[in-house]
Structure 1
Amino acid sequence: MGKLDNKIALITGGSEGIGLATAQRFIAEGAEHVFITGRRQQALEEAVKKIGKINITAVQGDASNMNDLDKLFDIIKKEKGRLDIIFANAGTCLVAPLGTITEKHFDDTFNVNVKGVLFTVQKALPMLTDGGSIILNGSTSSVKGDPALSVYCATKAAIRSFARCWTVDLKDRRIRVNTLSPGAIDTPLLRSLGKDEEETKTLMAEWQAAAPLNRIGMPDEVAKAVVFLASNDSSFITGVELFVDGGLSQI
């Protein structure tokens, strides 16, 4: 028996990193079917090949685009007719110190990280089963100040607030809403924050040194925590922010 037997799940941003690792974990834990999304069709196709199972559907689209979301939920409705788990994982992280922030930088970051999460969940609600689980991918940046990342940090604070409010909004349907907040995890997104390879190495060393466990996390370590929040193991947990960060946010 798997922890997610007979469950239908949606993972946005599922073509690489934490999203891909979570899709693999969901399948391993017995999920009946997993839908993943991503903006790049080739990356989605590669993810499906890597997972190597027939019970996964990849849907190309942008989480901040309402037409793409409508297309996604039309496909889910046609193929399965319901969802039990939503992992709103799609996100972006753009660097801009205060004084250099542009309107485009603000819009691009908030559109994916906040608008996309809001409307992914809202459009999914008619298909989400009572007693289902919603997991929002946050960040330690929701509680810590990071240089040159003020807009990104603000989006993750908004995600934390969503989880609190939606917990109350959905309590009559027994739908649990939790935030999963990773620290520095070895993903393509994390490695893209440096301007070049040398700066990336410096940043990785700084993040490693800042965590009490003195290392960078791996995507599968986050995926295991997502499984916990998606499964009955966390049946009496809702409205929380679970940090998977090697202790970074706790000291």
Structure 2
Amino acid sequence: MGQFEGKTAVVTGGSEGIGLATAVRLAADGAHVFLTGRRETALDAAVERIGPASATAVRGDIAELADLDRLYDAVRAHGRGLDVLFANAAAASFATLEEVTEEHFDGIFGANVRGTLFTVQKALPLLNDGASVILNASVRADDGVAAFGTYAASKAALRSFGRTWANELKDRGIRVNTVSPGTIGTSALDRVTAGAPEARERFVSNVPLGRLGRPEEIADAVAFLASDQSSFILGANLYVDGGENQL
């Protein structure tokens, strides 16, 4: 029997990359996973990979509150509350301080900060006592990479949210923690660095282990934070970065 047998999980941005790897991992350990994302075909493929008995797709954008309501309506109809929430969905793009536009700022903060806040807020009535909430931040919140300031600031906000929410929800036994991935080999990384190959090279060259991380390695960390194995961990930020922010 898996460690999440009979439990219900939500993974936002669950159709690819870290989100998909985490959904696969949680389902393999027994959870029924609700996935959300903006691309229906990608969500359908994710459900097919995981198996329809273990996964439900709800198309939507976390920046749209009505879409979050539809997601949680589906979770509510499942009838078991919510045990694990991985707030993973995010947006990223490069722009120097001089280049930042309202559209750039609103897109990044709308998804990463506003979207994550309401993803967790709207889950509150469904979260079972003892549930686990994991926020997906980033090492970029710490390292000052040029032209990544808006993204980095949005991820620093999540680290702050994680501390505050852990304090606010601890009386219900709900543990809130943050995971900060380093440079992970995903299609999202490919898209972000498509016009900036020098940035990709810099990211990889700064990893002491000398390689990109794998989405499955982040999924393992999320599963740990979601499980009873981390029962004495609260308000923490777990770096999974090949030593990038440590050495």
1:180–1:241: 8 Å Cα contact kept in structure 2? yes
TM-score, scaled to structure 2: 0.97
Look up the match of 2:65.
66
1:81 positional shift: 4.2
With over 3 angstroms needed to count, the CA separation of the structure-2 counterparts of 1:105 and 1:64, relative to structure 1, is same
One-letter code of the match for 2:206? A
Which sections of structure 1, spanning at least 5 residues, go unmatched?
Answer: none
1:52 positional shift: 2.8
2:91–2:108: 8 Å Cα contact kept in structure 1? yes
1:187-232 Cα offsets, whole Å, 9 max, x none, are: 1111112234xx44x4443222211111100000100000000000
2:8–2:80: 8 Å Cα contact kept in structure 1? no
1:130 is paired with a residue whose SS is strand
One-letter code of the match for 1:235? S
1:120-163 Cα offsets, whole Å, 9 max, x none, are: 10000001001110000000012211110100000000000000
1:73-222 alignment runs, 5 A limit:
73-196=72-195, 199-200=196-197, 202-222=198-218
* CA distance in structure 2 between the aligned counterparts of 1:7 and 1:81, rounded to whole angstroms: 8
1:167 positional shift: 0.8
1:204–1:216: 8 Å Cα contact kept in structure 2? no
Mapped pair 1:29 → 2:62? no
* CA distance in structure 2 between the aligned counterparts of 1:108 and 1:80, rounded to whole angstroms: 34
Look up the match of 1:54.
53
Out of 230, 236, 244, the position equivalent to 1:234 is 230
2:39–2:59: 8 Å Cα contact kept in structure 1? yes
One-letter code of the match for 1:25? R
Look up the match of 1:17.
17
After superposing on structure 2, the runs of 4+ consecutive aligned residues of structure 1 that deviate more than 6 Å are none
1:5-25 Cα offsets, whole Å, 9 max, x none, are: 221100000000000000100
* CA distance in structure 2 between the aligned counterparts of 1:81 and 1:123, rounded to whole angstroms: 16
* CA distance in structure 2 between the aligned counterparts of 1:40 and 1:99, rounded to whole angstroms: 32
1:48 positional shift: 1.1
* CA distance in structure 2 between the aligned counterparts of 1:106 and 1:86, rounded to whole angstroms: 26
Which sections of structure 2, spanning at least 5 residues, go unmatched?
Answer: none
Compute the RMSD of aligned alpha carbons.
1.1
* CA distance in structure 2 between the aligned counterparts of 1:215 and 1:55, rounded to whole angstroms: 32
1:168 positional shift: 0.7
One-letter code of the match for 2:19? G
One-letter code of the match for 2:242? G
1:34 is paired with a residue whose SS is strand
1:53 positional shift: 4.1
1:4 positional shift: 1.5
One-letter code of the match for 1:214? G
Percent identical across equivalent pairs? 52
Aligned length: 247
* CA distance in structure 2 between the aligned counterparts of 1:168 and 1:218, rounded to whole angstroms: 31
